Amino acid sequence: MNAVRLKTELLCRGARTEEDVGGGRKGGAGPSGGRYFTLPDETCIEIPLQGEFVSSSPFTLVERNGNWQVLRDGEMLVKVNPVPTPRFYDKKTSNGTPMRKIAILHGEDCLASTVYSRCIHWSSGNQCKFCGIELWRRERLIQKQPEQLGEVTEEAFTEGVAKHVTLTTGTPPASDKGALMLAKATKAIKEHSNIPVHVQLEPPKNPKFLEKLHHSRVDTIGIHIESFDPKVLKDVCPAKSKVNNYFEAWKTAVELFGEGQVSTFIIAGLGETDESILLGAEKAARMGVIPYLLPLRPIAGTVFEKVRPPTSRRMMKLYRSVAVSLHAVGLDPTKCIAGCVRCGACSTLRETYLSKPQ
């Protein structure tokens, strides 16, 4: 089994575990319930270890005398290496806050933090049905302070485990959609470390807030539409379906940050058609926006916890088509400076792109 297919199958099906191997965080923004490993070709992956869909996976993750293996139907398939736990997790900020409560390591070298862990769409009952940002909120800090983020980034950078930063946020009740918080956090980080920073947010109503992010020295930005299928978006992301300025925001962001430094999540498995994914991805790519395709990660406690991810066969087909669109317009995801596109642990887009599909 080649590396692209193996990674795609693991992302779509996860792996059962025979013992407590640490299943990752249970809530928060983005994919959760997994653990980071490197495959034999040094590709990084977050293998899903939690969720109902994992119980029927043919893959099992086992540890034997410090050696990690992925089995398929009980037979050894491949050896994997866990990404080591960074030392800064055991340290505290100057005000006594455990650093791992401020930011954690994603993938091999991405420091990630949810700057604001509440979302106005949850309070109105219009949250995205796959999102777990407000789950297990009591275990986390609701809002991270800029100086704390600066201190943790400096520590992780000095330790050598962080080479770029991802900052995301729930949508606050403000027209800037969290841009001002992200700008302050980025400024503090840049004062401590000259490290690339990626931010993620809903498109602000006024483009001036994207300009503020650029002035704060944000390097790359993610403005995530999630689905290009209008019916699916209305059902799964009711609040986002009412946002009508994604394309305008992408155009402004590309002008500010450059082609290939703006991205949008496209989640497969929400009920959409393949055509909607491919047409939307092509349109985004022609604008200079990376269409970051990834399979649905059903998170326990969310509305979509029992929904099964797409099949690996479907994802492989979609990845090849999206990669062709990227090659056609000369958009290279491997040149993204920071963020999820650079990390790549939850998607096989980079690997498919590099395989030069025809």
Name, in order, each residue with C-beta under 8 angstroms of 204's C-beta and a sequence gap of 6 or more.
Answer: 175, 176, 177, 179, 210, 249
Instruction: Supply the pLDDT for residue 27.
Output: 47
* Tokens of residue 320, six digits: 């090849």
Structural domains of the chain, with CATH: 3-354 (3.80.30.10)
Mean pLDDT for all residues in the chain: 93
pLDDT at 174: 94
| pLDDT tens for each residue of 243-289 | 999 999 999 999 999 999 999 999 999 999 999 999 999 999 999 99
> What is the pLDDT, as a whole number, of residue 135?
83
Task: Give the alpha-carbon dihedral of 47, 53, 57, 62, to 10 degrees.
Answer: 50
Percent of the chain with pLDDT over 90: 87
- How far, in Å, CA of 215 to CA of 212, rounded? 5
Contact 148, 110 (CB under 8 A): no
Which among 281, 294, 293, 292 has a CA at the least distance from the CA of 328?
Answer: 281
- How many helices and strands (H and E) does the chain possess? 11, 13
What integer pLDDT is reported at residue 62 of this predicted model? 95
Q: What is the pLDDT of residue 312?
A: 97
What's the pLDDT score for residue 136? 65
* DSSP codes, 269-316: TSS--HHHHHHHHHHHHHTTEEEEEEE----TTSTTTTPPPPPHHHHH
One-letter amino acid identity for 113? Answer: S
**Alpha helices (H) in the chain, listed in sequence order:** 3-13, 120-123, 146-159, 179-192, 208-215, 230-236, 246-257, 274-286, 312-329, 340-343, 349-354
Instruction: Compute the C-alpha angle 287/292/295, nearest 5°.
Output: 145
Averaged over successive runs of 10 residues, the pLDDT of the chain (358 residues) comes to 91 87 51 87 94 94 91 94 97 96 96 96 93 75 95 98 97 96 98 97 96 98 97 96 95 98 98 98 98 95 94 98 97 98 97 86
Q: What is the pLDDT of residues 135-157, one digit of tens each?
A: 866 566 899 999 999 999 999 99
DSSP state of 124: T
- Predicted model pTM: 0.95
Q: Which pLDDT does position 357 carry in this prediction?
A: 73
Give the C-alpha distances (Å, rounded to integers) separating 4 from 69, 316, 331, 349, 350: 18, 8, 20, 9, 9
